[in-house]
Amino acid sequence: MLSGDLVAVWDVALSDGVFRIGFAHGTTTGRRVVYVNGQEVIRRDWMFKLVGKETFTVGGANTRATISMEALSGFVYEYTLEVEGKSLQRFMDNRTKRTETWLLRVDGEDRRVVLEKDTMDVWCNGQKMETTGEFVDEGTETRFLLGEHECCIKATGNRKKSAIVHHFLLDGEKLPAPAEQH
C-alpha cells in the first residue's frame, strides 16, 4: 500500500488467514483504491461523488466486504468496513463464537490453526486440512497432520458452564488455550 491518500486500515481474521484491508481516498480527485494484503483490488479514478460504497471480496471463500464513505462535515469523512453485511466488530464477535484459533510454532514455522465449530473444518495458514473425526466418551476428536506431527482437537463438555471446550494436542501434548479470539 503505497499511497499518500491512505485513510483507513483494518485487519480481518478469516479461517484462511488474517487479511489487511487498506483504503485510499483522494478527496480532491475522488480517487478510491482498495487494497487487500497490499494488492490493489479496486481502483476508481476521478469519481465525482466523494461518498458512497465499494464492495469487494476477501479470502478464499470470497467473503463479501464493503467500505462506506460518509461526509461528516466539510472535508471530514468517516470510513467504515462491513463484512458479510455486519459491522467489522459484530462480524468479529460472531466469529469468536463460531471459531477457535491457535497460534503455534511447528518445525520452526509459525502456524495459525482455525477450527470452525459449526462445520468442524480445520484450516492451517490458509489451507483447509484433511481431517478425521470420531466420537469418544468425553466428546469428539478431530485429527490431522501438520507435517510429520499428529494433531488432535478435542471437544469436551464443561458441565458447570454447559459449554463445549476445545483443546489442541500436538503429538499428544496439550497446548495452552487459544492465543487469539478471532
- Torsion, Cα 94 84 80 8, to 10 degrees, reads 90
Give per-residue pLDDT as tens, 127-153: 999 999 998 888 899 999 999 999 999
Residue 92 lies in a domain: no
**CATH code, domain carrying 109:** 2.40.128.180
Residue 91 lies in a domain: no
Mean pLDDT of the chain, nearest integer: 88
Structural domain boundaries enclosing 155: 99-174
Q: What are phi and psi of 94, to 5 degrees?
A: -65, -40
107 and 77 co-located in one domain:
no
Kindly tell me if the per-residue pLDDT of 47 is higher than 80. Answer: no
41 and 79 co-located in one domain:
yes
Q: What percent of the chain has pLDDT over 70?
A: 92
Residue 180 lies in a domain: no
Kindly tell me if the per-residue pLDDT of 5 is higher than 80. Answer: no
113 and 158 co-located in one domain:
yes
170 and 103 co-located in one domain:
yes
40 and 108 co-located in one domain:
no
Q: Which three cell numbers stand for residue 39?
A: 494488492
Last residue within a domain, chosen from 52, 84, 116 = 84
117 and 165 co-located in one domain:
yes
Q: How confident is the model at residue 1 (pLDDT cuts 50, 70, 90)?
A: very low
Q: How far is CA 151 from the centre of its chain?
A: 22
Residue 182 lies in a domain: no
119 and 161 co-located in one domain:
yes
Give per-residue pLDDT as tens, 69-115: 998 887 788 999 999 999 999 999 998 889 999 999 999 999 999 99
Last residue within a domain, chosen from 51, 84, 117 = 84
| Residue 139, pLDDT score | 87
Last residue within a domain, chosen from 31, 55, 84 = 84
What average pLDDT score do residues 3-15 get?
87
Q: Which three cell numbers stand for residue 36?
A: 487487500
Q: How confident is the model at residue 51 (pLDDT cuts 50, 70, 90)?
A: confident
Scanning 14-155, the segments in alpha helix (DSSP H) are 88-98
14 and 55 co-located in one domain:
yes
| Residue 75, pLDDT score | 75
Amino acid at 107: D
